[in-house]
């Protein structure tokens, strides 16, 4: 260890390791089933892996273009046209990024300056607020509450000021598993109609919805699509979270600014995997089959948990399931999640971690992107508590 006496003024006081890293480390330490962090414990398809191997061996190992491999951008254009009836120009409106996380940081860096305000709907994924703070911005949190996590648009309206630059949405939502309604988009549209507010819509779970729910992309909304930057992740859609590949689509004027940040943060995402994904997307249809695949896992989890003392708030999308444990313990959700990991060997994430004020609803988030065997073992344990 190197000792240093340099004085550092941290840009993020009060921020510690992410809850996902904490819970995963604890899961490893206590040999617990890890239903905390949002990654699948099964492999991606072998043709995709073979394609990556092919391109690496072929020597496609140097920088990709800053905007991303053109063929991959073309495939994204086709996908948006097919699924959401919106055409994004691959040259001017689509950028491949090093995961959704980098796209998120780049959008915020491109548009949020000192003292600009950003509205975040909570509970929320944990990188939004720190990215705003790094850029000197101010975050306003519009909390939603269980069990419905309905957005209170009047509350959002009261938060809007002349300094509001960005509103961040994430549907289907991590951690709640809630979907957004068409009516929500109309209300949002009314709120920001005569402003310069930009929407950053994190749609990384766009292919994972259950029952009758359909993904409502901001791309489908005539007016909102004109002021939205939409982010998605190949990691979630192709079971390759470790490859860190995502993208950002939006009108040329917004994309131009976005790319100024993207270019200086990462310049370009990795080349061989982009080439492989471009071929892969060309060959498959746009229904990735994720809906059926994860519906079966969600249904298994919910029906197995019927025998437990947890109260399930059925997920409408994503691969997360919330469970209320108030009939089991009156400990805080954080303490209960730790106890569950150490004593019962099942790791989860406390919902309070997704609220800035750490409000505690006695709810845990379980990730069910796990093998059937892991889910069976985990639900057996949870039912015994
Ligand atoms: C809502 C949300 N956005 C973004 C990400 C990050 O995606 P990526 O791994 O592509 O950076 C995650 C990952 O869990 C997420 O849940």
pLDDT digits (tens, 9 = 90+) for 60-116: 999 999 999 999 999 999 999 999 999 999 999 999 999 999 999 999 999 999 999
Indicate which residue's Cα is closest to atom 7 of ligand 1: 100
> 107, 129, 234, 235: which to mutate for ligand 1, most atoms within 8 A of CB?
235
Comparing CA positions, the residue from 227, 225, 208, 231 lying closest to residue 102 is 231
Each residue of 279-299: b (16+ CB within 10 Å) or e? bbbeeeeeebebbebbeebbe
Specify whether 258 is located in the same domain as 310.
Answer: no
Parallel, antiparallel, or unpaired: how do β-strands 33-34 and 94-97 relate?
unpaired
Domain count, the chain: 2
Pick from 261, 302, 286, 199: which is nearest to 66 by CA? Answer: 261
327 alpha carbon – ligand 1 mean position (Å) = 31
| Total count of residues recorded for the chain | 385
CA angle 343, 378, 308 (to 5 degrees): 90
At 333 the pLDDT is 97
Q: Which of 174, 240, 273 to mutate to test the pocket of ligand 1 (most atoms within 8 A of CB)?
A: 174
Q: Which residue in this structure is represented by tokens 């306003």?
A: 140
Same domain, 157 and 209: yes
Domain around 341: 19-44+289-383
| The token pair that represents 149 in the structure block | 């996590």
Of 231, 252, 283, at which residue does a domain stop?
Answer: 283
How many angstroms is it from 183 CA to the middle of ligand 1?
A: 25
Average pLDDT over residues 122-138: 96
With residue 262 as reference, give the H or E element that holds it: helix 252-265
Q: Are residues 158 and 123 in the same domain?
A: yes
Q: For residue 245, give the ligand 1 atom closest to its CA.
A: 10
Task: Tell me the per-residue pLDDT of 156-191, one tens digit each, with 9 for 90 and over.
Answer: 999 999 999 999 999 999 999 999 999 999 999 999
In this structure, are 120 and 254 located in the same domain? Answer: yes
Label residue 46 by pLDDT band (50, 70, 90): confident
Q: Is 347 helix (H, G, I), strand (E, B) or coil?
A: strand
CA 258-262-265 angle, 5° bins: 140
Separation of alpha carbons 316 and 244, rounded Å? 25
pLDDT at residue 51, rounded to an integer:
95
Helix ranges restricted to H, 193-240: 234-237
Which of 179, 178, 192, 260 lies closest to 225 in space, CA to CA? 192
> Is there a single domain that holds both residue 173 and residue 264?
yes
Joined tokens for residue 376: 């069976």
Query: Does any ligand 1 atom lie closer than 6 A to the CB of residue 203?
Result: no
Q: 246 in ligand 1 pocket by Cβ < 6 Å?
A: yes
Q: Does residue 235 line the site of ligand 1, with CB under 6 A?
A: yes
| 143 and 86 co-located in one domain | yes
Based on the fold, state whether residues 179 and 132 are members of the same structural domain: yes
Q: To which H or E segment does residue 320 belong? A: strand 320-324
């Amino acid at each position: 260890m190197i000792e240093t006496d340099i004085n550092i003024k941290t840009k993020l006081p009060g921020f510690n390791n992410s809850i996902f890293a904490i819970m995963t480390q604890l899961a490893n330490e206590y040999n617990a089933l890890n239903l905390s962090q949002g990654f699948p414990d099964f492999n991606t398809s072998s043709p995709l892996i073979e394609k990556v191997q092919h391109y690496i061996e072929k020597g496609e190992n140097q920088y990709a273009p800053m905007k991303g491999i053109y063929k991959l951008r073309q495939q994204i254009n086709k996908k948006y046209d097919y699924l959401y009836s919106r055409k994004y120009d691959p040259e001017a409106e689509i950028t491949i990024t090093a995961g959704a996380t980098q796209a998120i940081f780049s959008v915020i860096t491109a548009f949020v300056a000192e003292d600009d305000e950003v509205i975040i709907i909570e509970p929320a994924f944990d990188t939004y607020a720190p990215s705003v703070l790094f850029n000197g911005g101010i975050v306003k949190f519009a909390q939603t509450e269980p069990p419905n996590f309905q957005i209170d648009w009047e509350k959002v309206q009261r938060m809007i000021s002349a300094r509001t630059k960005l509103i961040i949405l994430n549907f289907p939502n991590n951690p709640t598993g809630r979907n957004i309604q068409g009516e929500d988009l109309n209300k949002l549209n009314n709120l920001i109609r005569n402003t310069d507010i930009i929407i950053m819509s994190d749609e990384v779970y766009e292919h994972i919805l259950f029952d009758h729910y359909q993904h409502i992309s901001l791309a489908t909304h005539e007016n909102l699509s004109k002021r939205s930057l939409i982010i998605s992740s190949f990691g979630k859609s192709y079971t390759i979270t470790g490859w860190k590949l995502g993208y950002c689509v939006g009108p040329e004027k917004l994309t131009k600014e976005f790319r100024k940040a993207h270019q200086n943060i990462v310049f370009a995402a990795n080349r061989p995997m982009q080439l492989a994904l471009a071929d892969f997307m060309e060959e498959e249809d746009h229904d990735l089959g994720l809906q059926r695949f994860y519906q079966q896992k969600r249904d298994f989890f919910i029906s197995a948990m019927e025998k437990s003392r947890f109260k399930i708030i059925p997920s409408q999308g994503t691969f997360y399931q919330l469970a209320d444990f108030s009939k089991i313990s009156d400990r805080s959700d954080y303490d209960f999640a730790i106890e569950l990991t150490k004593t019962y060997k099942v790791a989860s994430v406390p919902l309070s971690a997704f609220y800035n004020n750490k409000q505690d609803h006695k709810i845990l988030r379980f990730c069910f992107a796990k093998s059937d065997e892991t889910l069976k073992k985990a639900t057996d344990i949870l039912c015994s508590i």
